[in-house]
Amino acid sequence: MSRKAPFTVRDLPSSERPRERLAALGTEALSQQELLACLLGRGCAGESVITVAQRLLNRFGGLERIAQAPLEELAGVRGIGLAKAAQLKAACELSRRADVAPRRLSAPLETPDAAMRLAKRYLARRRKEHFIVLLLDTRHRVMKVSEISVGSLEASLVHPRETFQEAIAASAAALILAHNHPSGDPTPSAEDLDLTRRLKEAGEILGIPVLDHLIVGGARAVSLQAAGFLGEG
């Protein structure tokens, strides 16, 4: 008795295949499952890539959790493996970098809310503590976003030397500090306040003022300037 051949994407009409739909209709018309199928390329023994993509979504509950998942956990899903897991992690990282790529803003960062929106794009959903600086020109437009330190889940070590080396190299006129709390609570710690004080003093000596220190925790953020921790100026 002959065995039925496994279903693959090639069994679909061309108008229903993910890659053909993307070419004809654009990325916006595709579902998350179809977009993942385009990225994965092919399925595994006995299963189409569409089935594998849906298993991935079911396993992690959505794209955000897929982006956060460690490489090894992705690779452990049936039909993924190390090569496809690496493709997924690379695609997620490229998307993140494209989203936070330095842009010449049409208007300066004049309010804590505007700066926090930018910092959240870079720091939200990070599993480790990242410390970055927003380097500003004389009109307080963003010249560059520089990552200074990546720490453990509990702490990050930041030194004035590395922080201002980036600012001096970029000829920045001012900077805004920002880091995340992986716990999801953006309340500043005593260590955060001490670091802010030290970096503000260093900026005063170098003539590169620290305008704010933003702390991102989950979907929330705190501006130490708005909270009154940076004093005048």
Domain ranges (residues) in the chain: 9-99, 103-223
Asked whether 109 and 134 are in contact (CB, 8 A), the reply is yes
pLDDT tens-place string over residues 45-97: 778 888 888 888 899 888 888 888 889 999 998 889 899 999 999 988 888 77
Give the position of tokens 């926090």.
Answer: 116
pLDDT at 41 over 90: no
pLDDT at 104 over 80: no
Q: Whole-prediction pTM value?
A: 0.60
CATH entry 1.10.150 includes domain 9-99 = yes
Asked whether 215 and 165 are in contact (CB, 8 A), the reply is no
Architecture of domain 103-223: 3-Layer(aba) Sandwich (3.40)
Q: Assess whether the region 9-99 and the region 103-223 belong to the same CATH fold.
A: no
pLDDT at 33 over 70: yes
Q: Is the dihedral of CA 70, 73, 76, 78 positive or negative?
A: negative
Q: Which residues, in sequence order, are CB contacts of 162 under 8 Å at separation 6+? A: 148, 149
pLDDT tens-place string over residues 173-225: 999 999 999 888 999 999 999 999 999 999 999 999 999 999 999 888 999 99
Strands 142-150 and 174-180, sheet pairing: unpaired
